[in-house]
Amino acid sequence: MKLVNLIRRARNPISASVVDSPISTVTSVEKRKSLRFQQDFEVEMLDSEKRPATEAVRLIDMSLNGIGIETSRRFSVGETLGLQMAVEGGRVLQARARVRWERDDGIYNACGLEIEGLGIFDRSRLLRALKPDYFGLPELINLVLQASATLLGAYVAVDWMTSDPAHMQAVMFAVPWLIYCAAVAIGAWVAYERA
């Protein structure tokens, strides 16, 4: 019945009154806490002895708090499993996952798992894999360390140059080469960070 009403509403002109439509818009409200992303990470489910709990696992979608999988084995709602997932250049995240729902889809079973016990750095790494433009605590620490190293290097260079006038002459002669080397180093660092 709802499908018929939806088709009728789609065929009506845009100026049609919304009050005439019996379709409820409440059914399309997202109930999840976190946005889901379609990913293609390698996922392995482990039992309590840390052995593979099932041979075939396919990741359907995931968020920071949970994953949706299709598996050849049936799991019980409430069951806790180990979770290993390869992200970002082979880095393996390990956590626990609790089965929140399970549905038989014929050949495979679909499961919704809530991720538990993921550390702050692994959570940040996962978020960065899901949203490449993410900037979190580890990235901030990295930026602060790089800025500190740059300032310390600049302080040492200025101290060295001002300690002897001959040093200043040598630096002024080498400035074009230093700029070229700095540009190459910065370009290599940017290429490495984006890869």
pLDDT tens track for 94-104: 888 899 999 88
DSSP β-bridge partners for residue 111: 69, 102
**Residue 93 to residue 136: CA distance in whole angstroms:** 17
CATH number of 42-130: 2.40.10.220
Annotate 120-171 with DSSP letters as a single string.
Answer: HHHHHHHHHHH-TT---HHHHHHHHHHHHHHHHHHHHHHHHHHH-HHHHHHH
**Higher-confidence residue: 113 or 18?**
113
The percent of the chain in helix, strand and coil, each rounded to the nearest 5, is: 45, 25, 30
Q: Do residues 71 and 104 lie in contact, with contact meaning Cβ atoms separated by under 8 Å? A: no
- pLDDT score for 191: 92
Where along the chain do its domains lie?
42-130, 137-194
**Phi and psi for 44 in degrees, rounded to 5?**
-130, 130
Q: Is the pLDDT of residue 150 over 80?
A: yes
> Has residue 35 got a pLDDT over 70?
no
Q: Report the pLDDT value the prediction gives residue 2, as an integer from 0 to 100.
A: 54
Edge-to-edge strands of the sheet including 109-116?
Answer: 42-46, 80-87, 91-104, 109-116, 66-71, 57-62
Most confident of 47-51, 128-132, 158-162, 179-183: 179-183
Is the model more confident about 34 or about 23? 34
Q: What does the DSSP 8-state code read for residue 78?
A: T
Nearest to 94 by CA among 104, 81, 78: 81
How much of the chain, in percent, has pLDDT values that exceed 90?
14
| pTM of the predicted model as reported, rounded to 2 decimal places | 0.51
Strand spans (E) along the chain = 42-46, 57-62, 66-71, 80-87, 91-104, 109-116
Banded model confidence at residue 39, pLDDT cuts 50, 70, 90: low
What amino acid occupies position 96? R
Residue 88 Rama label (left phi>0; alpha psi -120 to 50; beta): left
Tell me how far apart the 2 most distant CA atoms of the chain are, in Å.
Answer: 89
* Structure token pair of residue 88: 């970002």
Q: Half-sphere exposure of 7 toward its Cβ, with a 13 Å CA cutoff? A: 4
Residue of 94, 83, 37 lying closest to 57 (CA atoms): 83
Tell me the percentage of the chain whose pLDDT exceeds 70. Answer: 76
Instruction: Please report which confidence band the pLDDT of residue 86 belongs to, taking 50, 70 and 90 as the band edges.
Output: confident
